[in-house]
Amino acid sequence: MVTGLTSSAVESSVPDTTTQPKPRRALVISALGLTQILAWGSSYYLPTVLAKPIAVDTGWPFAWVIGGLSLGLLVSGLVSRRVGRAIERHGGRPVLATSAMLLTAGLSTLALAPDLPIYLAAWTVLGLGMGAGLYEAAFSTLGRLYGLNARGAITSLTLWGGFAATVCWPLSAYLVQKVGWRGTCLAYAGLHLAVVLPLYVFVLPREEKRSPEPRPHTEAADDAASECPPSNKTLMVAMLAGILMTGGVIFSIWSVHLITILQADGVALATAVALGALIGPAQVGSRAVEMAFGRYHHPIWTLQASVTLIAIGLALLWTRFTLLAVPLVCYGAGSGIWSIARGTLPLALFGPSGYAELMGRLATPSLIAQSVAPSLGALLIVSTGTSGTLAVLAGLALLNVALVAALCLCARRLIVSAPA
């Protein structure tokens, strides 16, 4: 579906810029950064503020209102491989432009939804837009544009993306008070049409169409990867997919049930919200450190630091560490550089050839798992309590530490061969 739109509706409407000089790298990153803030804020983070007003206004069950996001994540996971192939073949510009139109259509349908089935149908469209327009698609676009030099661009983009909730949660709350939840959805639809789509069309360069066949291995990481046996490559891809899926489950459960888990230990609501707010600055801070020093080490060590910090944070919470701010900052710092590692490590290990399609393959199991994780988290809280839930999350985090260590052993030859 996304591929069809890419090669027809969008591509034909985008002016040809092949004869024009490519825009400056900083301009491309800034444009993608702004669009990522609006894309995340009007899709993934939308129910955080709008779910309750929607349920109160319509009378629809709150679980079904929240379930719209789960449906959207499921759809985005199912289309992510197709999106990766489309970016690999056509470049990111037409695919991201398609995502802006899909998000516009989904948000408009959401605003006009007369009943629950139409509401869920709107989230199906939003899921297509999320699959074609969130981090994986943006990372793939940068990888196709800059090859092995995309690491700094990906890191910079995550700094922008870290402000999505900071910007859009207050904006959504303000709009809900002024124009209601339906007006808020229409306002975001208008922003995608008036701001996001033009940024994709007029700032991102038009890239040469590639054939679906693999390109020659011409860059250093491709040469290093070509020396690795195919069976070992398959194993590393499978391990990386498992790591990303496990991390996705942890993040999805934690983001939805954070306040509930903290309040269960006697923390007041206002204090729980204030403690939860520490995660955002910790994420941005760790990304800033990575941006400053990332060039000196391989991305696999960024991933190792990420999973270790997350495991420490969750283990400290499970053991009822007295100063709650410490484990939350550890978790936030780890989750901050996780976004960088998931975009830069596949590029460093396997090279830019086929990177976009690989990102789609890796995203599929993670997004599907994230779509069901909040419900599983609720079942865990009901059946085992918050202590049991934290034990499971800490166990998954420690499993990821072991998986990354095993990946380091499998990839040690590529880590030595590839440039940092």
pLDDT tens digits for 209-219?
776 554 444 44
In contact, 283 and 158? CB cutoff 8 Å? no
pTM for the model stands at: 0.80
Tokens 């988290």 found at:
377
* Per-residue pLDDT, 220: 46
Q: How crowded is the C-beta side of 233, counted as CA atoms within 13 Å?
A: 14
The helix/strand/coil state of 123 is: helix
Domains and CATH numbers, the chain: 2-12+21-203 (1.20.1250.20), 220-417 (1.20.1250.20)
* Per-residue pLDDT, 376: 85
What residues of the chain score a pLDDT lower than 70? 1-22, 211-231, 413-420
Distance CA 45, CA 48 (A): 6
Cβ atoms within 10 Å of 413's Cβ, excluding its own: 13
The residue type at 67: G
Q: Show the DSSP H helices in 9-61 as ranges.
A: 11-13, 25-41, 46-58
Nearest Cα to Cα of residue 171 among 318, 22, 45, 314: 45
Cβ atoms within 10 Å of 12's Cβ, excluding its own: 8
Distance CA 262, CA 120 (A): 31
In contact, 379 and 167? CB cutoff 8 Å? no
Q: What angle (nearest 5°) sits at the alpha carbon of residue 78, between those of residues 72 and 79?
A: 95
Q: Show the DSSP H helices in 229-352 as ranges.
A: 230-264, 269-276, 279-293, 299-318, 325-350
As given in the structure block, the two tokens for residue 285 are 């801070």
Distance CA 161, CA 154 (A): 10
> What are residue 14's phi and psi, to 5 degrees?
-90, 125
As given in the structure block, the two tokens for residue 221 are 């990481």
Distance CA 354, CA 133 (A): 18
In contact, 160 and 375? CB cutoff 8 Å? no
Distance CA 190, CA 196 (A): 9
Residues across the chain? 420
In contact, 401 and 308? CB cutoff 8 Å? yes
Nearest Cα to Cα of residue 130 among 192, 43, 32: 43
